[in-house]
Each structure stands twice: as structure tokens, then as C-alpha cells.
């Protein structure tokens, strides 16, 4: 099939895709709503978002907009804190997730400084580089320390308010991509049909969105940030997602073959020195994660060059579990 990117990607370099409704897109300065079927973008002002009434106030207070998803959430930043802006009925859940982890041994999380009725949750800034920043700077990533901290997170006894973990259905990602490019349905479905089943159930307290930008290395230790998705489930959900992202960054940097895989295996090996992992679930989750990322990167101008390589990883058997 013709693999040229859609015309709208010439300007809008970041998109937040979804299976229904418009996609939020940005060029770094402006934000817009994309109709992915038609490829038409309507420019919007995030401050006017009626479902996020706290956003206008956060921007008026001097916050700089660093992330935005129409009608769903936004993040602003000032010199000392981030402010998450969500629908007012969801702010309490973010505060609760931070409170669940207060004082937990073995890792750090940022403190909630203030929350308001209009959906603003102000969270302290964590001083220190993310794993993503370390990888981009070609600095050694403290994998043993991260594995130790992650095992400590998974050992926390969850409260009754924490929901069970769910796992993304490949059909959802096929629906997302084919809104933009219907001709891809057959090839994506062929990969999805061969993916093994995943069991997300478990007793660990899991982050559920643990990638290298959500892990910070500081003088006080390893910090986990962006705690909105805390759930109770299988620890492999976090370990594999982070390991895949470590391998992904090596692919993006054009490093020698095998370097990314070594990072993947080193994290799993270091984690297994502390807590066991289910080899079948590791293999299944890895392939599903590559599939999800391959689909996501088809929707990103900067990621499309790697999308097929990621989908190829989803289509073949994963490497044996190290250790």
C-alpha cells in the first residue's frame, strides 16, 4: 500500500488518537481537533475547553501548557510544580492515588500540593532526570535501582479503592489506525490474530503506564510519576512495558543491533532477583506492547519510520525470558 503519511501530518506533528471522536493534535504552538476520516483539522483554544473548567485558571496563573487532550486532561507547568487539569469528578482519584503511596518504602512519588473543585491538581516537580533523558544523553541507566524500586511498588498493599488492571484490546488499536488509513485493516488484523492472550489479573499494585518518561532518577532515589492509572494486577504489565520502551529508545537512536535487547533483558533479570515473573505473561505482554506501539507510531509523523519494525516484533515470538 502507499505508505506516504496523511497530509495533515505535514503541520501537526503530535496526535492523541482515539477510536471515536476527534483527535487532539498540536504543532507545538497551536492545538487542533482532527477529523481522522477526512484529514481536516480545526484549530482550538485549550482555555475554552468547557469539560476542563480549571484549565483557563491554570493558564491565567502563569502555567505553561505542556500537554493537552481535548475534553480529557491537560498539564501545565510553572517553576516549582506541575498542575494536572482533569474533569472535576476525576481529580479526587488522582489525589487518592498519590495518597495510597505516601510513605511507601523503596521508592519515591511526588506530593500533591493543592487540589481545587474545578479539576486542578498541583503536584510538586521532581528534580532529576528521567530515564528517557538519561538514555538520550547516552548515560548509563540505573537498571538495578529501577528494578528494586519497581519491586517495592508492586509490594505495596493496595487500598480497596484501587481498581483491577485492564489490558488494551488490539481491536481498539486497529479501529484507531483504520479511521485514518482504512487500507491497513487487513495487515493489522493479521498480526492481531496471532497475538497470544494476556492475563492482567494479579495482586501487585501496578502503575499501568510505566515507561521511561515516568521514571525519574534523583538523589533521593527512584521516583515514579504520572500515577493516574494505578491498578491491581499482574506485575508483568509494568516490567514489560518499561523494558520494551528501553529497547524502543535504542531503535530510535539507531544503536547497534542487540543493544536494545540487552536493556530489555537486563531489566527483567534485575527484577527477577527480587520478585518472580510469569514467562508466559511476559512473552504475551511484550508482543501486545509492540503491537500497540506500532499502531500508535503510525499515528505520529516522527514515529512512522519505525512503525513497521515495531509491528514486526509483535508478529514474531518474543525472546525467551532471561534468568
Q: How confident is the model at residue 159 (pLDDT cuts 50, 70, 90)?
A: confident
Q: Which helix (H) or strand (E) holds 32?
A: strand 31-35
pLDDT at 297: 96
pLDDT value at residue 158: 87
**Residue 4: band (very low, low, confident or very high) from pLDDT cuts 50, 70, 90:** confident
pLDDT, position 323: 52
Q: Given this model, what pLDDT does residue 96 score? A: 94
Question: Which residues have C-beta within 8 Å of that of residue 177, sequence separation ≥ 6?
Answer: 17, 184, 188, 295, 298, 299
The CA-to-CA distance between both ends of the chain, in Å, stands at 41
Confirm if 192 and 169 have CB atoms less than 8 A apart. no
CA separation for the pair 55, 4 (Å, rounded): 36
Taking 60 as the threshold, does the pLDDT of residue 190 lie above it?
yes
Beta bridge partners of 138: none
Evaluate whether 125 touches 59 at the Cβ level (below 8 Å).
Answer: no
What average pLDDT does this structure show over 95-100?
Answer: 93
Collapsing DSSP to helix, strand or coil, 121 comes out as strand
Q: Could you tell me the pLDDT band of residue 321, with boundaries at 50, 70 and 90?
A: low
Q: Look over the chain and give the mean of its residue pLDDT values, rounded to a whole number.
A: 94
* Predicted local distance difference test score (pLDDT) of residue 303: 87
pLDDT at 120 over 80: yes
- Summarised one tens digit per residue, pLDDT across range 194-242 is 999 999 999 999 999 999 999 999 988 999 999 999 999 999 999 999 9
Predicted confidence (pLDDT) per residue in 230-240, tens digit: 999 999 999 99
Contacts of residue 10, defined as CB under 8 A and 6 or more positions apart, other chains included, come to 301
Give residue-wise pLDDT tens across range 256-314. 879 999 999 999 999 999 999 999 999 999 999 999 999 999 999 888 999 999 999 99
| pLDDT tens-digit series, residues 6-53 | 999 999 999 999 999 999 999 999 999 999 999 999 999 999 999 999
* 25 and 8 Cβ atoms separated by less than 8 Å: yes
Reply yes or no on whether the pLDDT at 73 is more than 80. yes
State the chain's maximal CA–CA distance in angstroms: 54
pLDDT > 70: what percent of the chain? 97
Question: Would you state the pLDDT for residue 1?
Answer: 54
Q: Tell me, what's the pLDDT at 2?
A: 58
As a whole-number percent, the residues of the chain with pLDDT over 90 amount to 89
Cα separation, 151 vs 235, in Å, equals 8
Instruction: Report which secondary-structure segment, H or E, holds 143.
Output: helix 143-154
Nearest to 1 by CA among 196, 185, 167: 185
C-alpha span between 308 and 175 (Å, rounded) = 17
Amino acid at each position: 500500500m502507499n505508505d506516504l503519511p496523511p497530509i495533515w501530518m505535514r503541520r501537526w506533528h503530535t496526535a492523541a488518537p482515539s477510536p471515536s471522536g476527534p483527535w487532539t493534535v498540536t504543532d507545538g504552538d497551536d492545538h487542533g481537533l482532527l477529523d481522522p476520516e477526512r484529514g481536516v483539522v480545526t484549530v482550538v483554544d485549550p482555555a475554552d475547553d468547557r469539560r476542563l473548567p480549571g484549565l483557563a485558571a491554570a493558564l491565567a496563573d502563569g502555567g505553561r501548557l505542556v500537554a493537552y487532550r481535548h475534553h480529557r486532561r491537560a498539564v501545565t507547568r510553572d517553576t516549582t510544580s506541575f498542575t494536572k487539569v482533569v474533569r472535576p469528578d476525576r481529580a479526587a482519584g488522582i489525589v487518592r492515588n498519590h495518597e495510597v503511596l505516601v510513605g511507601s518504602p523503596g521508592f519515591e512519588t511526588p506530593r500533591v500540593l493543592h487540589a481545587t473543585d474545578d479539576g486542578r491538581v498541583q503536584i510538586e516537580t521532581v528534580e532529576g532526570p528521567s530515564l528517557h533523558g538519561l538514555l538520550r544523553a547516552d548515560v548509563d541507566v540505573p537498571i538495578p535501582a529501577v528494578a528494586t524500586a519497581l519491586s517495592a511498588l508492586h509490594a505495596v498493599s493496595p487500598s480497596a479503592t484501587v481498581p483491577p488492571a485492564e489490558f488494551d484490546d488490539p481491536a481498539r488499536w486497529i479501529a484507531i489506525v483504520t479511521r485514518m488509513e482504512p487500507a491497513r485493516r487487513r495487515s493489522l488484523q493479521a498480526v492481531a490474530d496471532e497475538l497470544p492472550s494476556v492475563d492482567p489479573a494479579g495482586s501487585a499494585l501496578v502503575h499501568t503506564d510505566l515507561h521511561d518518561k515516568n521514571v525519574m532518577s534523583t538523589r533521593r532515589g527512584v521516583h515514579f510519576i504520572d500515577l493516574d492509572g494505578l491498578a491491581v494486577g499482574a506485575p508483568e504489565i509494568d516490567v514489560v512495558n518499561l523494558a520494551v520502551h528501553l529497547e524502543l529508545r535504542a531503535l530510535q537512536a539507531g544503536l547497534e543491533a542487540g543493544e536494545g535487547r540487552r536493556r530489555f533483558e537486563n531489566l527483567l533479570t534485575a527484577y527477577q532477583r527480587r520478585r518472580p515473573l510469569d514467562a508466559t505473561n511476559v512473552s504475551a505482554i511484550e508482543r501486545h506492547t509492540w503491537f500497540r506501539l506500532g499502531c500508535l507510531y503510525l499515528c505520529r509523523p516522527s514515529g512512522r519510520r519505525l512503525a513497521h519494525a515495531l509491528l514486526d516484533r509483535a508478529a514474531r515470538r518474543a525472546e525467551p525470558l532471561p534468568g
